[in-house]
Every structure is written in structure tokens, then in C-alpha cells.
Amino acid sequence: MNALVNFSKIFKFNGGVHPPENKTQSTQLPIAQLPLPEKIVLPLRQHVGNIPKIKVNVGDKVLKGQLLAEAEGAVSAAIHATTSGAISAIEDAIIPHPSGLPDRCITIKPDGKDKWIEKKPQDWKSADRKNLVASLRLSGIVGLGGATFPTHIKLLANEKSGVHTLIINAAECEPYITCDDMLMRERADEIVKGIAIAQHLLGAERVLIGIEDNKPEAAASMRVAVSATNITSMQVVVVPTLYPSGDARRLVHLVLGTEIPFDKRSTEVGLQVFNVATVLALYRYFEFGEPSLSRIVSMTGNVNKPQNFEVLFGTPLPHLVAAAGGAKVATTHFIMGGPMMGFDLPSDKVPITKATNCIIAASINLFAPPPAAMPCIRCARCADACPVDLQPQELYWFAKADNFEKANDYKLFDCIECGACSYVCPSNIPLVQYYRYAKSEIIAIDKAHEAADLARERNDFRLARIEREKLERAQKHAERAQAAKTASESLKKDATGLEHSSASLKANIHVDGGNAQNNDDEAQKLAKQAAIAAAIERAKAAKAVAGGAQKNVVNTDENIKKEIAEIDARRQAVGLETNIAKPAIDAGKQAKIAAAIERAKAAKAMAEAAKQNGKEGS
């Protein structure tokens, strides 16, 4: 056992396996800088979250570090030009993804100058922490341990979230992968400076750096670098080599003994976890103004010269394979990641992305075809190996029977798909494949339910809107009907008043004597006709309002004069020239004038009412 191990501070987790490491092959040579390839192909899908928005066009000249696609939405990451050159294409191409489907990519033809944009370092020690974290949205930095979660989201946690401990994941437990090991051996000083930046941004009180005991050189380099900073809150913790100790929750349990609940994030219990390569990217960004453009990749397996390389994102895989001496004849395919959690690449022409920590050239000698699966014998070895304390054999039966509800009840989504259960299964059952199938089906069902619920909500809203508009129209009709009824009653009341006035006028004229009898009759007739005409005009106007018609009624002084002239003509025709007749004729004239005035007022009122109804109807 290595002398660096200090098991007094280690809290072992259940299960785990120890497959052959196969790490020494790629650690015999130092990290090499890969030369510029003939083209750079940058997939937009290199991180968890939304696809970034393209900011360039075909034919544009770009510089190294220039923003090509900006983060879109809350969870996203930017994409930058990894060298200077010209945009030669923006089109779909095969990307390194288990689906094997093409996706949108930006292709750059390098000009060979590798000319940078103007770099803008930041004084992270004195600048406002919120502004520093906000600027990371343009950096393109994501988790380089494989999860590729945008780093600026993880650093939003500050004193409000109560993050008190930062844990640096340097376990690198999967076989064949050595990129973090070599990074710590050669660049420990930069890593520790990046850790200090992350600690400052989070406001964490202490830092624990977890390293497996099969990396003694890396652990020694990190301890020297930590001692040189005089940061007493930072400590290197060596943990036993046991797969999957590199899982974030397993590492937290190892170094702290804390079990993070399955339904909570680490920040909810005051913890945050970063990979060593991620904090190194933070250091390069704040100290030198360099966005995320490259990473260390282990090129190993069935190649002539296994080695770790610093590779620009977008570098075609054949360029990397050639730098490692080329693949041997027996190579059958390439694996991205480790043999436990990695996947077969759909093509050997795919580009290197932010998620690429290791490429394994596979052959039958290294990875024999899996034997045929046999029936489960219920030996429970899978349960003994499960680091999450699940019941893999039960989940297998539920997934195989499409009993997804039961599988969900047995905490299917707690499975980290580490492959430990498949590794120890004596029946060679590909258990993880069944779990992935069940998860995908449950997610699809949930999405279908969400879509159905959304459609139902939209339909309910539509029906509610239709009913509301119906009630509003009914209310407007009722208001207009009530206004018409009120106007009609008012007109009837005015007509009754005019009749009473005519009767009173008749009585007054009759008192003046018998000689004015004929004049009295004529005056009564004229007054009655004027009253009736005014009432008819008002009734017509009320009817027009009730029907929603808009009609302009005009009564001018000429109409009134015309009516007065008619009255004078009739008076002259009957020879009404006595002094007694004048009061009667004057009264009739006054009644006519009053009626005309009433008609004008009624017409004006009706026109205003019609205009108001027209506004409401619109």
C-alpha cells in the first residue's frame, strides 16, 4: 500500500469494483502539444443545456479565442474559435455522441498564424464576485471531468447558499484514463491557483483535494503546490483506489462521510465539487483572459505510442491518432471515455470536444466481444457491487418487463450507470443497458404527459376565454338595451308633458271670449300637431338608438322659421287680425318653436348616444 494513504479520514462506501487499471501505458511520456490540424470542426452541442446561438457567417475571418456562438438561455455555454482562420462551413456533421446522429457544427479552415484576439485578464482578488461569475458566461468553461455542466452555473452559489466546503475531484477512477494524473504531475501550481479562484468565488471555508492512492506522483506534486501557497484551508486527501470513487457523491462520502440525499444537490448541503481540469481552465481565464479552447486527452489502447496530448477543441480524431503513432492494424473501433462508462464512437472522423477526456483504440485483444447473456441466477453479486445501495436484479426484471412505474419506485434514477453491476454479473447480463432503456422510456412518458397537460391547459384557457367574451358581449347588449329603454321612457314622459301644456294653453285662450273661438281651435290644432310631431321625432330617434344605428339629425333655424311662416300664412287665411286672436296665435307659435327646440335637443342627444354606442361596439 502506498505510503501517502491516510485511511483515518476515509469513510468507505458500499460496493465498488477494482477492474484492471491499464493506466501506465499513457503515463510514460509527458503531455505533448498537438500541432494545428487542417481543419477545425466545432459542434455546438458540447455541454449540458441549451445550444448556443451562432454569431458568425460562412466566409468570416476569425481570431483565436473569438466568440463564435454565445450562451443561450440559463444553462448553456459559449463556443470560441480555437485558432485563427476563416469560417468555411456551418452545417450538420457527425459528432461524438452515443446516438450517432449529426448535429450543427462550425468548421474553421486554419490560416496557420494561430493569432489571438486581445486578451483581457481580470483582477479576481479585488473585483466584485458577482461580476466575475457573470463574465464566466462568455468563457465557455464547462465541467471537464465528463459531465460538461456550465461552470458559471455552479459558481453562482455564494454565501447565500451556504457552501462551506469545496471538493476537488482528482480521483480519476476509470481504467485507461490518465489526463488528470498527468495534469497534476506537470501543472500542479496552476491547478492550485485555479482552486484558490474557485474557493474565492464560492466563499468556501475549506478545500479538500481527493486523489486515489494509485497516483503517488500526482499527490506529491499537489501537496508541494498547496504548501507553497500557505493556504491552510486547502488539504490533499488520498483515497483508496476503488471504482467508482470518482463519482462526485462517492468522493464526497469518502472524504467527509456525508451522504447527499438522492433528491438534493450538493450545494443544498453546503458542498460543491469541481474537476482539476475545470479549475485549471478558471485560472487560465482569469489570469490570462483565455476562454476554454483546449483540454488534455489520453490517447491510448491499440495505438503505437499511447500518450496524453493537449488538444484544441474541434480537432478531427484522425489527427490525434496520427500523433500517437497511428492505430495498429487490429483496431476495430474507438471508445470515447473509459471502458466502464464510455461509448463506441459512431465514426473515426468525429472531432474532439469538451467532453473528450480519453480515446481508446479498441481491438478484440483488448475488448473481447461480450458473451451471450444467460438467465439471472439471483446471486446478488450486482447488489453487493452497487455503490448506490440499489437492487440491480429487481431493476433488471422491472425494466425487462416494461414495468416502469415499479422501476421508478425502486429508485431507478439513483443509478449512476457506473457499470459495476454488469462487470460482476456471472450471467453476463448487460444490466446498465436495461437501466438506460427504462430511464429513456420513463423520460419519454413524462414528456408525453407534460405535453398532454399543457394541451389540456391551453384548451381550458381557450374555453374560458370564449365564455368570458360571450358574457362580455351579453353584458354590452344588456347595457345598450337598458339605455334605449331609458331613452324611450324619457320621450314618452316629454310627450305627456307637451299634451298637458297644450291643454293648459287651450283653457287660457278660451277665457278670452267667444270671438276668439275659431282662433282658439286653430291654435289648439297647431299646438297639438307640433307636440305630436316632436313626440314622433323623439320616438324615431329612440328606435334608432335601440337598433344600434347611427343617424345624424339636423334641425336648423331655417326649419323653425319655415314652421313659423306656415303658422302666419294660416292665420292670414282665416282672417285672424283681432287683438284677442294674437295671444292664441302667439301661443301656437311658441308651441311650435318649443317643439322644434325639443326635436333639436333630442336629435343631438340621440346622435351622441349613437356615437357612444359605436365606440363600445368597436
Confidence of residue 243 (pLDDT cuts 50, 70, 90): very high
Does residue 455 belong to any structural domain of this protein?
no
Q: What is the CATH number of the domain that holds 99?
A: 3.40.50.11540
Instruction: Kindly report which listed range (12-16, 523-527, 530-534) carries the lowest average pLDDT score.
Output: 523-527
- CA within 13 Å, CB half, 303: 27
Confidence of residue 559 (pLDDT cuts 50, 70, 90): low
pLDDT confidence of residue 8: 47
Instruction: Kindly report which listed range (73-82, 288-297, 576-585) carries the lowest average pLDDT score.
Output: 576-585
pLDDT confidence of residue 527: 62
Instruction: Kindly report which listed range (2-11, 50-59, 337-346) carries the lowest average pLDDT score.
Output: 2-11
Considering 356-360, 461-465, 483-487, 555-559, the range whose residues carry the highest mean pLDDT is 356-360
Q: Is there a single domain that holds both residue 118 and residue 181?
A: yes
Which whole number is the average pLDDT over 65-70? 96
Helix, strand, or coil here: 236?
A: strand
Which whole number is the average pLDDT over 385-402? 95
CA-based nearest residue to 239, from 227, 253, 229 = 253
Which whole number is the average pLDDT over 143-156? 90
pLDDT confidence of residue 523: 56
Confidence of residue 147 (pLDDT cuts 50, 70, 90): confident
Q: Is there a single domain that holds both residue 307 and residue 199?
A: yes
Confidence of residue 80 (pLDDT cuts 50, 70, 90): very high
Report, in this order, helix, strand and coil percent for the chain, each rounded to 5: 45, 15, 40
* Angle (CA) 194 197 200, round 5°: 150
Confidence of residue 440 (pLDDT cuts 50, 70, 90): very high
Percent of the chain with pLDDT over 70: 79
Q: Is there a single domain that holds both residue 508 and residue 589?
A: yes
- Pick the more confident residue, 109 or 513: 109
Which whole number is the average pLDDT over 464-486? 90
- Pick the more confident residue, 601 or 438: 438
Q: Is there a single domain that holds both residue 93 and residue 143?
A: yes
Helix, strand, or coil here: 74?
A: coil
* Angle (CA) 270 274 278, round 5°: 150
pLDDT confidence of residue 436: 93
Does residue 371 belong to any structural domain of this protein?
no
Q: Residue 429 pLDDT more than 60?
A: yes
Q: Residue 14 pLDDT more than 80?
A: yes
Q: Is there a single domain that holds both residue 218 and residue 307?
A: yes
Confidence of residue 419 (pLDDT cuts 50, 70, 90): very high
Does residue 368 belong to any structural domain of this protein?
no
Does residue 92 belong to any structural domain of this protein?
yes
The strands making up 53-54's β-sheet, listed across from edge to edge, are 53-54, 67-70, 79-80
Which whole number is the average pLDDT over 495-523? 58
What pLDDT, in 10s, does the model give residues 364-380? 999 988 899 999 999 99
Domain boundary (363, 396, 431) is at 363
pLDDT confidence of residue 420: 95
What pLDDT, in 10s, does the model give residues 155-196? 885 545 688 999 999 999 999 999 999 999 999 999 999 999
Distance of CA 227 to the CA centre of its chain: 43
What b/e string do you get for 236-264 counting C-beta neighbours within 10 Å, with b at 16 or more?
bbbbbbbbbbbbbbbbbbbbbebebeeee
Q: Which residues contact 454 (CB under 8 A, 6 or more apart)?
A: none
**Single pTM value for the model:** 0.74
Q: Which residues contact 227 (CB under 8 A, 6 or more apart)?
A: none
pLDDT confidence of residue 579: 41
Does residue 156 belong to any structural domain of this protein?
yes
- Whole-number CA gyration radius for the chain: 45
Does residue 374 belong to any structural domain of this protein?
no
Does residue 200 belong to any structural domain of this protein?
yes
What pLDDT, in 10s, does the model give residues 482-498? 888 888 887 777 667 66
With residue 561 as reference, give the H or E element that holds it: helix 557-573
Q: Is there a single domain that holds both residue 410 and residue 279?
A: no
Write out the residue range of the structural domain in which residue 486 sits. 463-617
- Which residue type does 245 have? S
Which whole number is the average pLDDT over 551-578? 52
Q: Is there a single domain that holds both residue 354 and residue 421?
A: no
Beta bridge partners of 165: 206, 271
Instruction: Kindly report which listed range (27-31, 153-157, 169-173, 203-207) carries the lowest average pLDDT score.
Output: 153-157
Domain boundary (363, 396, 425) is at 363
Confidence of residue 591 (pLDDT cuts 50, 70, 90): low
- The tally of domains found in the chain comes to 3
Which whole number is the average pLDDT over 105-133? 93
Q: Is there a single domain that holds both residue 330 and residue 398?
A: no
Q: Is there a single domain that holds both residue 441 and residue 467?
A: no
Q: Is there a single domain that holds both residue 429 and residue 314?
A: no
Does residue 257 belong to any structural domain of this protein?
yes
Q: Is there a single domain that holds both residue 487 and residue 589?
A: yes
Q: Is there a single domain that holds both residue 398 and residue 496?
A: no
pLDDT confidence of residue 570: 61
What mean pLDDT is reported for the chain? 85
- Which residue type does 290 have? E
- Pick the more confident residue, 88 or 569: 88
Which whole number is the average pLDDT over 240-252? 94
Percent of the chain with pLDDT over 90: 66
Which whole number is the average pLDDT over 268-278? 94
- CA within 13 Å, CB half, 350: 29
Q: Residue 446 pLDDT more than 80?
A: yes
Nine cell digits for residue 570: 294660416
Which whole number is the average pLDDT over 499-524? 56
Confidence of residue 27 (pLDDT cuts 50, 70, 90): very high
Instruction: Kindly report which listed range (251-265, 284-298, 523-537, 542-556) carries the lowest average pLDDT score.
Output: 542-556
pLDDT confidence of residue 503: 66
